[in-house]
Amino acid sequence: MSQVQTIFKNMSWLLISQIIASICGFIWTILIARYLGVSDYGIYGFAIAFTNILGVTADLGVNTHIVRHIATDYDSAPKYLGNAIPLKSIFAIGTIILSLILLILLKSNELVITVTLLFAIEMIFKSFINLLNGSFQAFEEGKYQGIGNTIMNLLLLVFIIITIFTDFGIIGISISYILANLIALIYAYYVLNKHITRPKFEIDTEFWKMITIYSIPFAVTGILYTIYYSIDVVMLANMVGNYATGIYNATYKLISVLTLFYTVYTAVIFPVMSKFFKNDKAMLLISFEKSIKYLMLIIIPLAVGTVFYSADIIHLIYGHEYDAASSVLSILIWTVCLLFISGAANTLLNASHKEVTVTKIYAIAAVFNIALNFFMIPYLSYNGAAITTVLSDLLIVIIQGYVIYKLGHRPNKKLYSDIAKIILGSGILGIALYFMNLNMWIAIPVGMIIYFAAITLLKVFDNDDTYVIKEILGKN
């Protein structure tokens, strides 16, 4: 099986699981938002954002380092996993203690503390799942991760529905997350032992020290990354209140659904890029270029359509109580486009062992983001936080482009031409939607036809794309 076919096979499993996850997530997002109301939904959003930030301390970059290493040396998996699991257990205990201390310092009320600590436990289970999923990615066995993700998301949806029908409140919602992730963790560990490799458990403190040192750049980047993408919710909760946080969090949940393809693509392509860096530098750059092109083909027209129908989308999903979120959605949708570019660039830099550079970039972006939020949130509330996020993402893309160019990873000029054509095709779509003023449900199929016709006439697809498609189909 060729590398392209292997990538497509793994992407297919993960894409199917992510589609199921997105459908489930879409349903429970609506159910939870309508069930809890704006204020309690704000607490729910704060708990998730807070634990996302502290979640890095439960891992400290160990997952990413191990995936990269195992992808290039399968025989090292038992030792690395056998040491990583007990090491991360120690990190987990420290994370719970740190969470409680910070919540007390923030003078959070009893409900906020309880919900946040429950989500901290869920986050720890998720951290272990990510370690095992990383092993599946390294061995290019994405189907096991896909099955595990599907089990977890279906169970979570069922538990949430049960919680709502029994009126167990926000505490029940939190426990639902814990139970679903615990069952998914048990499944992942069983599959790892049966089909992939058996961890060789040991307490090798010198090895622990080595793993931790090599993982520090990933840890710092992870801390900065999660601060960067979660601090706005925490700041909104403390500066404006739970209502504004609920409005912003409702939009953020929708945005996270739209990143499903990026999540799948990154999970599959990172171990592949790690191999290319070691064995084939030319293919490393080609995989980066194609990543940018294919991700932009999907998200830019989607962003254009979202801007035109943001009010309809919010009303359909959340009801009139969340009408104010439509302006946030029109702004935040553009951060998804920038996230796709920065995500591909991060994958290239991490696979090229430039994780320290990535750390520096996110350090700059995190400082910029926090400073601008202090100015924007008091004046523009949730819209100010959204504008800050987009500007911060733009800053990251600009710096990444400069760094990649300086490192000699200079994309073919055709990539810029292709992106320009995609933007032009999306512009044609936007103009058509503006003048036709169609109902949202009619606009979806009509818009797809217009966009596909535009990119076809602009000749966005070339011989290389045809080759990739034939490779996927096994016809080369």
pLDDT of the residue at 379:
85
CA distance 9 to 193: 22
CB 335 within 8 A of CB 389: yes
Helix (H/G/I), strand (E/B), else coil: 439: coil
CA distance 313 to 306: 8
Amino acid making up residue 83: N
- CA nearest to 324, candidates 402, 243, 400: 243
pLDDT tens digits for range 278-294: 555 555 566 667 777 87
1: confidence class by pLDDT, cuts 50, 70, 90: very low
Q: How many CB atoms lie within 10 A of CB 375?
A: 11
Name the CA dihedral angle for 120, 156, 246, 252, rounded to a multiple of 10 degrees: 90
pLDDT of the residue at 87:
84
Amino acid making up residue 160: I
CA-CA distances (angstroms) from residue 159 to 28, 119, 250, 319?
10, 15, 20, 23
**Geometric angle at alpha carbon 249, from 17 and 174, rounded to 5°:** 65
Burial of 416 (0-12, 13-18, 19+ CB in 10 A): exposed
Mean pLDDT of the chain: 80
Least confident of 352-356, 450-454, 456-460: 352-356
pLDDT of the residue at 273:
46
Q: How many CB atoms lie within 10 A of CB 458?
A: 16
How much is the average pLDDT of 357-372? 86
Structure tokens at 393: 């993402």
pLDDT of the residue at 270:
46
Sign of torsion over alpha carbons 306, 308, 311, 313: negative
pLDDT tens digits for range 186-217: 998 898 888 777 888 888 788 788 777 777 77
Q: How many CB atoms lie within 10 A of CB 90?
A: 11
pLDDT of the residue at 320:
78
Least confident of 158-167, 227-236, 386-395, 397-406: 227-236
CA distance 109 to 112: 5
Structure tokens at 376: 């924007």
Length of the chain (residues): 476
Sign of torsion over alpha carbons 197, 6, 295, 431: negative
Q: How many CB atoms lie within 10 A of CB 249?
A: 28
Residue of higher predicted confidence among 305 and 81 = 305
Contacts of 178 (CB under 8 A, 6+ apart): 118, 121, 122, 125
Q: Is the per-residue pLDDT at 277 higher than 70?
A: no
Name the pTM for this structure: 0.66
Q: Is the per-residue pLDDT at 244 higher than 90?
A: no
pLDDT of the residue at 468:
55
- Specify the residue for token string 């959340």: 318
CA distance 247 to 314: 10
pLDDT of the residue at 401:
85
pLDDT of the residue at 117:
93
Contacts of 89 (CB under 8 A, 6+ apart): none
119: confidence class by pLDDT, cuts 50, 70, 90: very high
